Every structure is written in structure tokens, then in C-alpha cells.
Amino acid sequence: MPRSAPIEALHFEALGTTCSLFAIGLSRGRLLEGELWVRRMGARLTRFSMKSELSRLNAATGRWIDISAELETLLRESLRAFETSGGFVNVAVLPSMAAIGYTRPLSQGPTAVNLPVTGPLPALPDVLRVRPGAARLEPGAGIDLGGIAKGWMADRLRDSLGPNALANIGGDLSAAGVGPAGIGWPVGLAGVTVLLRDQGAATSSVRRRRWGEHHHLIDPRTGLPARTGLEEVSVVATDGVEAEVVAKAALLVGPELAPTYCAAHAQAWWLSP
């Protein structure tokens, strides 16, 4: 049995969720730097503050505005996710989020529901343009980076915390190296323990962030909370962003197509009706 190496760990609440950082051979100070980075990025990417960089983009529809390198990367990741998921992962959900009353953190309670304004989401490439250092949204469009941002943060932290580290940003996981015992990083996923080695993992679920009959996962075909016959999908993939995209797309395509989709895009998966 391999001997476990000492782990430095840090747990904190940010982005409205629970986050954890783990690393071998790294000081607690470096993990604290990682926490501060998550908080800074969260403040820039939240849709719940009119002062955030994302909100400024959402408020500037119809014209090009300058954006940071980080936001540009996330917007390009979002366009890639739309393409690779066949349009099922679409960050142009802000009007639908407003329609179902998800306009502020759920800890503050939902706001008024205005469902008649919903409808199929526009194709993301039709409403979002990105060029070096700038982006443009079409009038009436709005984006919520949501899970893609969490997966991206986990991947960035994994890369910055050294060759043997694990980042968990609200359930989006990204692991580097062989873990404390040399056999991978043990994480709980879908009720089992899996070992991640230079991999990512994510769970997409409609069981959390619920209020009344509504939840936060929008079906792009309807603009309404998804009702696909699946309630939760967990996957292991090449990195955190990929795992987030595959898990969400699999839940949205439903139980008949999800196994085939996961077999093509994930390294391991669990489906829960």
C-alpha cells in the first residue's frame, strides 16, 4: 500500500457554493492566494452585480466593448461548448433566468416569475461576437457563464497549484498529478469514489437550486427549466470545462441519448433519472 503524502487543504465559501483546494508540497499561503483569485474572478464574472465585467457586457448590447483576457477566454470557451454540444450548452440564458425569477442569489429568494416571455434560446454564435480584446452582444441577448466559469476556474487553479493538486469549485473538479497516495486523487462522484489523474469531473443536476416547480438548468429548446427524464449526470473527462459541458449536455439530451453521448465524450459517467 503506497504511503500517503501530506496534503495541504483549504475549504471556503465563494460564488454561492463550497470550494476546496488541495495540494501536495505547497504552502497554505499559496492556497489562500488561490482562494483570493476565485473571489476576484467571481466578482468580475457574476451576473448578480451591475458593477461586474460580465454585467457591463450584458448592459452594452448592440455595441463592441473592451473586455479582459480572462473574459475573452471564457466567451470563446462558451462558443466552443455551444458547438461541441450541438447547441445544448448555451450561455445565452439570461432572459430565461429573469423570466423564471432567478435574478439574484437564491439565498435571497427568487423574484417574480414572468414565464410568458420565454422561448427557445437564440443560437449563441448569432448573438455573441468576440474579437481580440472586445466582445459584442446583440440587442435583447444576455449571458450567464455559470458552470463553464466554475470549470474554467478549477482548471486554472489546477495549473497554478503545481504538479500534484486538486481544485473543487462548487462540484466542478480538476486534478493534476497522482494524488497523495500515488494512485490518483480520490473524490466522491455519484455515490462512488473515483481516482482522478490529470482529469476533470463534474455533476449537472436539477435537484439543487430549486424553488417551487422551477430550477436553474434551462433547456435551450424551450427556454424553460429542463424536464428531460434525467435529474443528475456525473462525468469524468479530460478537464473541468470539458466535464461540465458533457455533464450538462448529457442531462439535456435525456435518458435515451445520454449514454451514447457520454460514451463519445466522457471517460466515465453516471446517469440518475
One-letter amino acid at 76 equals: R
What per-residue confidence (pLDDT) applies to 118?
65
Q: What is d(CA 90, CA 245) in angstroms, rounded to the nearest whole number?
A: 10
Q: What is d(CA 130, CA 65) in angstroms, rounded to the nearest whole number?
A: 10
What per-residue confidence (pLDDT) applies to 106?
72
Closest CA to 43 of 75, 64, 65, 71: 71
Tell whether pTM > 0.85: yes
**How many CB atoms lie under 10 A from the CB of residue 63?**
9
Number of domains the chain contains: 1
Pick the range with the lowest mean pLDDT from 14-23, 69-78, 112-121.
Answer: 112-121
DSSP state of 256: T
Residue 23, domain extent? 7-272
114 domain residue, yes or no: yes
264 domain residue, yes or no: yes
What per-residue confidence (pLDDT) applies to 1?
41
Q: Is the pLDDT of residue 3 over 70?
A: no
The answer for 104, left when phi > 0, alpha when psi is -120 to 50, beta otherwise, is: beta
Closest CA to 12 of 169, 155, 146: 169
What CATH number does the domain containing 247 carry?
3.10.520.10
Burial of 29 (0-12, 13-18, 19+ CB in 10 A): exposed
178 domain residue, yes or no: yes
Closest CA to 144 of 19, 46, 242: 46
20 domain residue, yes or no: yes
**In percent, how much of the chain has pLDDT > 90?**
83
Pick the range with the lowest mean pLDDT from 53-67, 212-226, 245-259.
Answer: 212-226
Which whole-number Å values give the CA distances from 75 to 88, 153, 240, in the listed order? 16, 14, 16
One-letter amino acid at 95 equals: P
Average pLDDT of the chain? Answer: 93
In the predicted model, what is the mean pLDDT of residues 242-253? 98
113 domain residue, yes or no: yes
Q: How many residues does the chain have?
A: 273
45 domain residue, yes or no: yes
pLDDT tens by residue, 107-129: 787 776 766 656 899 999 999 99
80 domain residue, yes or no: yes
- Looking at the chain, the number of H-run helices and the number of E-run strands are 8, 16
In the predicted model, what is the mean pLDDT of residues 1-9? 75
One-letter amino acid at 145 equals: L
1 domain residue, yes or no: no
Q: What is d(CA 243, CA 227) in angstroms, rounded to the nearest whole number?
A: 21
What per-residue confidence (pLDDT) applies to 197?
97
What per-residue confidence (pLDDT) applies to 116?
61
Pick the range with the lowest mean pLDDT from 5-19, 100-114, 137-151.
Answer: 100-114
Q: Is the pLDDT of residue 206 over 50?
A: yes
Report residue 54 as a C-alpha cell.
Answer: 460580465
What is the full DSSP assignment across 201-216? EEEEESSSSEETTEES
Q: What is d(CA 182, CA 22) in angstroms, rounded to the nearest whole number?
A: 14
What per-residue confidence (pLDDT) applies to 91?
98
